[in-house]
Structure 1
Amino acid sequence: MQIEPAEYRQRREKLMSKIGNGTAIFRSAPTAVMHNDVEYIFRQDSDFYYLTGFNEAEAVAVFAPHHEEHNFVLFVQPKNPEKETWTGYLLGVEAAKEQLGADEVYPIDELDEKLPQYLQKAEKIYYHLGRDRQFNATILRHWQMLMRGYQKHGIGPMVLESTNTILHPLRQVKSPTEIEFIRHATAISAEAQNRAFAFSQPGRYEYEIQAEIEHTFRLKGAIGPAYPTIVASGVNSCILHYIENNRQLQDGDLLLIDAGCSYGYYNGDITRTFPVGGKFTTEQKIIYELVLDAQQQAIEQVKPGNPYNLFHDTAVRVLVEGLMELGLLVGDIEEIIEEEKYKPFYMHRTGHWLGLDVHDSGGYKYNEEDWYILQPGNILTVEPGIYIGPNIKPVEGQPEVPERWRGIGIRIEDDVLVTNSGNEVLTAAVPKSVAAMER
Structure 2
Amino acid sequence: MTEAMPAAASTQPTFAEPAEGAVEHAEAADAVRSRGPEEFRARRERFMASIGEGVAVLAAAPELVKSRDTDIPFRQNSDFFYLTGFLEPGAVAVLTPHDGAHRFTLFVRPRDPERETWNGRRAGVEGAMQAYGADAAYPIEELDSRLKALLEPADALWYALRADGGEMDRRMLALLTGFRAPRPRAGKGPWDLRDPGQLLDRMRLIKEPGELALMREAAELAARGHIAVMRAGRPGVGEWELQALLDQTFRSYSATSGTSFPAIVGSAANATVLHYVTNDRRIEEGDLVLVDAGADVGFYCSDITRTFPASGRFSAPQRAVYDIVLRALEAGIEAVRPGAPANAMHLAARRVLVEGMITLGLLEGDPEKLIEEEKFKRFFMHNTSHWLGLDVHDPGSYTARDGEPIVLQPGMVLTIEPGLYIPEHGDDIPAELRGIGIRLEDDVLVTEDGHEILTRAVPVDPDDVERICSEARS
TM-score band, normalised by shorter chain: over 0.9
1:370 CA displacement = 1.5
1:298 paired to 2:326:
no
Q: What is the CA-CA distance between 1:283 and the residue it aligns to?
A: 1.3
Pick from 89, 96, 107: which aligns with 2:139? 107
Q: Could you tell me which residue of structure 2 aligns to residue 324 of structure 1? A: 358
**Conserved in 2, the CA contact under 8 Å of 1:229 and 1:258?**
yes
Q: Which residue of 1 aligns with 2:345?
A: 311
Q: Which runs of 5+ in 1 are unaligned?
A: 393-398
Matches of 1:294 and 1:64, distance apart in 2: 48
Aligned to 2:25: none
Instruction: Give the letter aligned to residue 413 of structure 1.
Output: E
| Maintained 8 Å contact 2:59/2:80 | yes
The 5 A counterparts of 1:255-404 are 255-391=289-425, 400-404=428-432
Q: Secondary structure at the match of 1:320?
A: helix
Q: What amino acid is aligned across from residue 307 of structure 1 in structure 2?
A: P
Letter in 1 for 2:314: F
Question: TM-score, length-normalised on structure 1?
Answer: 0.96
Please tell me the residue identity of whatever aligns with 1:59.
A
CA distance in structure 2 between the partners assigned to 1:4 and 1:182 by the alignment: 18
Counterpart code for 1:351: S
Residue from 417, 420, 426 that aligns with 2:448: 420
1:204 deviates by 0.9
> Secondary structure of the residue that 2:97 maps to in structure 1?
coil
Q: Is the 8 A contact 2:379 2:420 kept in 1?
A: yes
Q: How far apart in 2 are the matches of 1:381 and 1:172? A: 13
Aligned-partner residue type, residue 42 of structure 1: F
Partner of 1:370, secondary structure, is: coil
AA of the residue aligned to 2:418: P
Contact 2:107–2:143 under 8 Å retained in 1: yes
Equivalent residue number for residue 30 of structure 1: 62
2:86 to 39, 54, 62: 54
- Aligned partners of 1:262, 1:12: CA distance in 2, in Å? 24
- Looking at structure 2, the residues matched to 92 and 389 of structure 1 have their Cα atoms a distance apart, in angstroms, of 55
Q: CA deviation at 1:68?
A: 4.7
Alpha carbons 1:93, 1:105 under 8 Å: kept: yes
Equivalent residue, structure 2, for 1:147: 180
- Equivalent position amino acid for 1:100 in 2: Y
For 2:424 and 2:409, locate their aligned partners in 1 and report how far apart those are by CA, in whole Å: 41
Q: Is residue 30–residue 132 contact of structure 1 (8 Å, CA) maintained in 2?
A: no
Partner of 2:201: 168
Tell me, what secondary structure is at the counterpart of 1:69?
helix
Deviation, 1:158, is 1.3
Poorly superposed stretches of 4+, deviation over 6 Å: none
- 2:241 corresponds to 1:208: yes
Structure 2 CA distance, aligned partners of 1:369 and 1:65? 33
SS of equivalent residue, structure 2 residue 396: coil
Q: Contact 2:361–2:430 (CA<8 Å) still a contact in 1?
A: no
The code of the aligned residue for 1:312 comes to H
Partner of 2:28: none
1:195 aligns to what? 228
1:396 corresponds in structure 2 to none
Q: Which residue of 1 aligns with 2:15?
A: none
Shift of the alpha carbon at 1:369? 2.1
Secondary structure of the 1:55 match is coil
Structure 2 CA distance, aligned partners of 1:248 and 1:368?
50
CA RMSD of aligned residues (A): 1.2
For 1:105, what is the secondary structure of its paired residue? strand
Distance of 1:92 and 1:132 partners within structure 2: 27
* Aligned-partner Cα distance in 2 for 1:94–1:340: 59
Query: Matches of 2:337 and 2:35 in 1, distance apart?
Result: 27
SS at match of 1:262: strand
Counterparts of 1:65 and 1:146, CA distance in 2:
19
Counterpart amino acid of 2:49? S
Question: Once the two structures are aligned, what percentage of the paired residues are identical?
Answer: 45
Q: 2:434 — aligned with what?
A: 406
Distance apart, 1:132 and its partner CA:
4.7
Aligned residues: 433
- Measured after TM superposition, the shift of residue 18 of structure 1 is 0.3
Whether contact under 8 Å (1:61, 1:75) holds in the other structure is: yes
- The one-letter code sitting in structure 2 at the alignment partner of 1:320 is V
What TM-score do the two structures reach when normalised by structure 2? 0.89
Pair 1:88 & 2:120 matched: yes
1:226-265 equivalences under 5 Å are: 226-265=260-299
* Structure 2 gap segments, 5+ residues each: 1-31
Q: Distance in 2 between matches of 1:420 and 1:68?
A: 38
Amino acid at match of 1:6: E
Q: Secondary structure at the match of 2:292?
A: strand
